Amino acid sequence: MVEESALTNWKPVILIADGNHTMKIRQLLWKARSDFNDLKFPTPGLDAEILLAFSIGRERDFLYAHPGRKLSDNELKRFCTLSERRKKGEPVAYITRKKEFWSRDFEVTPDVLIPRPDTEIMVEEVLKLSGKAGKGGIRILEIGTGSGVISITLASELENAVITATDCSPKAIAVAAKNAVNHNIEGKILFLSGDMFTPVEGKFDIIVSNPPYISENEFTLLAPEVRDYEPRHALIAGPEGTEFHCKLARDGKGFLEKNGWLVMEIGAGQRFSVCKILQENDYCDINVRSDYSGIERVVMARKEG
Ligand SMILES: C[S@@+](CC[C@H](N)C(=O)[O-])C[C@H]1O[C@@H](n2cnc3c(N)ncnc32)[C@H](O)[C@@H]1O
């Protein structure tokens, strides 16, 4: 991974020596980073690099190898247009229609949540639990698959997994199915559209979900680039924020095998309420795992045998 600051921190002595048309990669990066920084975007240098690399059809590494390369008129026009979209607040992943998860590229559209690195923690936990499940084919159900990153990563990592993935949004299911084809695992996942468990049949060894978990009040406090661009139904759970965890714990029992695991992502501060919900629904072996920022992020619980 290329560091945020290395190229974009470069300060030109003369920014535009001979007009926009001859601006080089390092100058453009510096300018875009500075503009994004002024707008208080969290990762201004990274955003600038991704958009510039995308504008010239290269990987980010290319920018480091060729900081003195000039852009053609078309490339420069494209970069300016994309930078303007970013300056208005549009997330980079929706501009490039691409987001990395588990070191793989996934297509994203405004119909799906942009996958977050924190969710990789949940995938790690499901992989560990899958290892305990023995040699037979392990059956996994994902509720709320969005772009499909969780199910597709699990299907790619687990040879013996049979996966069902659902989402209430048919448009999200279309994005997930396309990602599955792009990753050559389409035969391993059954994609279903519908509300929660409604389209699902059968029993599973693991149910995994990164459900909507933002409360209605919290939603108003989200960064504009999340609040104004990502699908509301992927974010807002209800007045409490834990409404989906409740439904998953309550209805999930009917779809879990004995000793099967329910694995859910949670938001900051939701540990206590979600663990209580699981206890009230007679789950045992309740465990919590924090993400790399120290925020409790994943809750796992076993359906008693
Ligand atoms: C937080 S997003 C997670 C998306 C993806 N799994 C990820 O981790 O990036 C929640 C997902 O749940 C879906 N969803 C919301 N309400 C639902 C419901 N009632 N039934 C099924 N899926 C639902 C949304 O469409 C969205 O794709």
Ligand 1 pocket residue status of 144, Cβ below 6 Å = yes
Q: How far is the CA of 145 from the centre of ligand 1 (A)?
A: 6
What is the pLDDT at residue 131?
Answer: 83
Number of domains in the chain: 2
| Spatial separation of the C-alpha atoms in residues 149 and 24, rounded to whole Å | 36
Q: Which residue, of 88, 108, 142, is where some domain finishes?
A: 88
Tell whether 146 and 266 lie within a shared domain: yes
Amino acid 205: pLDDT: 97
- Which residues contact residue 96 at a Cβ distance below 8 angstroms, ignoring those fewer than 6 apart? 50, 51, 54
Query: How far does residue 199's CA lie from ligand 1's centre (Å)?
Result: 14
- Of the three residues 88, 114, 144, the one that is the final residue of a domain is 88
What is the CA(240)–ligand 1 centre distance, in A? 17
- Residue 10 within a domain: no
Same domain, 271 and 230: yes
Residue 112 lies in a domain: yes
Do 58 and 190 fall into the same domain? no
Q: What pLDDT score was predicted for residue 12?
A: 38
- pLDDT of the residue at 136: 64
Note whether 162 and 207 are same-domain residues. Answer: yes
Predicted local distance difference test score (pLDDT) of residue 135: 56
Q: Could you tell me if 147 and 245 lie in one domain?
A: yes
What is the CA(234)–ligand 1 centre distance, in A?
5
Domain boundary among 32, 57, 88: 88
Out of 107, 108, 113, 189, mutate this one to test ligand 1's pocket (max ligand atoms within 8 Å of CB): namely 113
Measured by CA distance, the residue closest to atom 19 of ligand 1 is: 195
Ligand 1 lined by 149 (C-beta under 6 Å): yes
- Same domain assignment for residues 246 and 297: yes
Same domain for 188 and 285: yes
Same domain, 153 and 116: yes
User: Ligand 1 in contact with 105 (CB < 6 A)?
Assistant: no
* CATH number of the domain bearing residue 216: 3.40.50.150
Residues of the domain holding 34? 20-88
pLDDT score of 100: 96
283-290 vs 256-265, strand pairing mode: unpaired
CA 297/CA 267 separation, integer angstroms: 6
Could you tell me the distance, in angstroms and rounded to a whole number, from the CA of residue 232 to the centre of ligand 1?
A: 10
pTM (2 d.p.): 0.92
Same structural domain for residues 160 and 237? yes
Distance from the alpha carbon of residue 210 to the mean position of ligand 1, in angstroms: 7
Which parts of the chain have pLDDT scores under 50? 1-20
State if residue 172 touches ligand 1 by the CB under 6 angstroms criterion: yes
**How far is it, in rounded angstroms, from Cα 21 to Cα 114?**
34
For ligand 1, say whether the CB of 150 is within 6 Å of any of its atoms.
yes
CB 115 less than 6 A from any atom of ligand 1: yes
- Indicate whether 45 and 117 sit together in one domain: no
Determine, yes or no, domain membership for 247. Answer: yes
194 CA from centroid of ligand 1 (Å): 11
**Residue 68 burial (CB count, 10 A):** 8
Residue 291 within a domain: yes
Q: Judge if 121 and 247 occupy the same domain.
A: yes
Alpha-carbon gap, residue 249 to 280, rounded angstroms: 9
The beta strand positions in 43-149, using DSSP E, are 98-101, 104-107, 138-143
Return the ligand 1 atom nearest residue 211 CA: 10
Do 217 and 268 have their domain in common? yes
